[in-house]
Amino acid sequence: MERSEIASRMIAILTTALAEDPDSEAFDEQIADLLQGMHNVRLELPANAHPAAVAQAAMDEVTPSFTATIGTLFAAYIHLARAHDRTQPELSAQDILQDFALHFRIE
Protein backbone atom coordinates (compact mmCIF):
# COMPACT_ATOMS: atom_id res chain seq x y z
CA MET A 1 0.00 0.00 0.00
CA GLU A 2 1.35 3.42 -0.96
CA ARG A 3 2.16 6.02 1.68
CA SER A 4 -0.58 8.35 0.35
CA GLU A 5 -3.20 5.60 0.70
CA ILE A 6 -2.04 4.83 4.22
CA ALA A 7 -2.27 8.54 5.08
CA SER A 8 -5.80 8.70 3.63
CA ARG A 9 -6.90 5.72 5.70
CA MET A 10 -5.34 7.11 8.86
CA ILE A 11 -7.13 10.42 8.34
CA ALA A 12 -10.37 8.47 7.86
CA ILE A 13 -9.68 6.63 11.13
CA LEU A 14 -9.06 9.91 12.96
CA THR A 15 -12.23 11.39 11.47
CA THR A 16 -14.20 8.31 12.55
CA ALA A 17 -12.70 8.59 16.02
CA LEU A 18 -14.07 12.12 16.35
CA ALA A 19 -17.56 11.02 15.31
CA GLU A 20 -17.85 7.84 17.40
CA ASP A 21 -17.61 6.88 21.03
CA PRO A 22 -14.15 5.27 21.23
CA ASP A 23 -15.44 2.84 23.86
CA SER A 24 -18.18 1.50 21.58
CA GLU A 25 -18.15 -1.75 19.67
CA ALA A 26 -19.12 0.16 16.50
CA PHE A 27 -15.95 2.21 16.83
CA ASP A 28 -13.77 -0.89 17.02
CA GLU A 29 -15.51 -2.38 13.97
CA GLN A 30 -15.12 0.79 11.90
CA ILE A 31 -11.45 1.09 12.79
CA ALA A 32 -10.88 -2.60 11.97
CA ASP A 33 -12.55 -2.09 8.58
CA LEU A 34 -10.32 0.90 7.81
CA LEU A 35 -7.19 -0.96 8.90
CA GLN A 36 -8.07 -4.02 6.81
CA GLY A 37 -5.29 -4.79 4.37
CA MET A 38 -2.96 -1.99 5.45
CA HIS A 39 -0.26 -4.22 6.84
CA ASN A 40 -0.49 -7.42 4.84
CA VAL A 41 2.62 -9.54 4.91
CA ARG A 42 3.48 -11.66 1.90
CA LEU A 43 6.63 -13.66 2.33
CA GLU A 44 8.20 -16.20 0.07
CA LEU A 45 10.70 -18.18 2.06
CA PRO A 46 12.02 -21.71 1.83
CA ALA A 47 10.14 -24.24 3.94
CA ASN A 48 13.25 -24.79 6.04
CA ALA A 49 13.87 -21.09 6.71
CA HIS A 50 15.23 -20.36 10.17
CA PRO A 51 12.66 -18.68 12.46
CA ALA A 52 14.96 -15.67 12.86
CA ALA A 53 15.06 -15.25 9.06
CA VAL A 54 11.25 -15.44 8.91
CA ALA A 55 10.93 -12.84 11.67
CA GLN A 56 13.41 -10.51 9.96
CA ALA A 57 11.67 -10.87 6.60
CA ALA A 58 8.31 -10.07 8.22
CA MET A 59 9.77 -6.99 9.93
CA ASP A 60 11.33 -5.82 6.69
CA GLU A 61 7.96 -6.22 4.96
CA VAL A 62 5.80 -4.33 7.51
CA THR A 63 8.22 -1.62 8.66
CA PRO A 64 7.49 0.83 5.81
CA SER A 65 3.70 0.68 6.29
CA PHE A 66 3.96 0.92 10.08
CA THR A 67 6.34 3.86 9.72
CA ALA A 68 3.90 5.59 7.36
CA THR A 69 1.02 4.89 9.75
CA ILE A 70 2.80 6.31 12.79
CA GLY A 71 4.20 9.22 10.77
CA THR A 72 0.70 10.16 9.62
CA LEU A 73 -0.61 10.04 13.19
CA PHE A 74 2.24 12.26 14.41
CA ALA A 75 1.75 14.73 11.57
CA ALA A 76 -2.00 14.89 12.25
CA TYR A 77 -1.39 15.39 15.96
CA ILE A 78 1.13 18.17 15.36
CA HIS A 79 -1.20 19.89 12.88
CA LEU A 80 -4.14 19.71 15.29
CA ALA A 81 -2.07 20.71 18.32
CA ARG A 82 -0.68 23.80 16.59
CA ALA A 83 -4.15 24.83 15.38
CA HIS A 84 -5.52 24.30 18.88
CA ASP A 85 -2.75 26.32 20.54
CA ARG A 86 -3.35 29.22 18.12
CA THR A 87 -7.04 29.37 19.01
CA GLN A 88 -7.09 28.15 22.63
CA PRO A 89 -3.90 29.48 24.26
CA GLU A 90 -5.31 29.14 27.80
CA LEU A 91 -5.22 25.32 27.49
CA SER A 92 -2.21 24.11 25.53
CA ALA A 93 -1.84 20.85 23.65
CA GLN A 94 0.85 19.97 26.20
CA ASP A 95 -1.71 20.37 29.01
CA ILE A 96 -4.12 18.13 27.13
CA LEU A 97 -1.44 15.47 26.68
CA GLN A 98 -0.62 15.54 30.38
CA ASP A 99 -4.31 15.12 31.20
CA PHE A 100 -4.49 12.26 28.69
CA ALA A 101 -1.51 10.55 30.36
CA LEU A 102 -3.21 10.85 33.76
CA HIS A 103 -6.34 9.29 32.31
CA PHE A 104 -4.39 6.12 31.50
CA ARG A 105 -2.71 5.99 34.90
CA ILE A 106 -6.09 6.07 36.62
CA GLU A 107 -7.66 3.22 34.61
The answer to whether residues 24 and 42 touch, using CB atoms and an 8 Å cutoff, is: no
In the chain, where the domains are located: 3-106
Report how far Cα 32 is from the mean position of its chain's Cα atoms. Answer: 12
Rounded to an integer, the average pLDDT of 31-36 is 77
User: Of 2-16, 20-34, 57-71, 72-86, which range is least confident?
Assistant: 20-34
Rounded to whole angstroms, the Cα distance separating 32 from 39 reads: 12
User: 55-103: per-residue pLDDT in tens?
Assistant: 999 899 888 888 888 898 899 889 989 999 999 888 898 998 898 888 8
The answer to whether residues 20 and 30 touch, using CB atoms and an 8 Å cutoff, is: yes
**Eight-class DSSP state of 21:** -
Provide the 3-class DSSP secondary structure of residue 102. Answer: helix
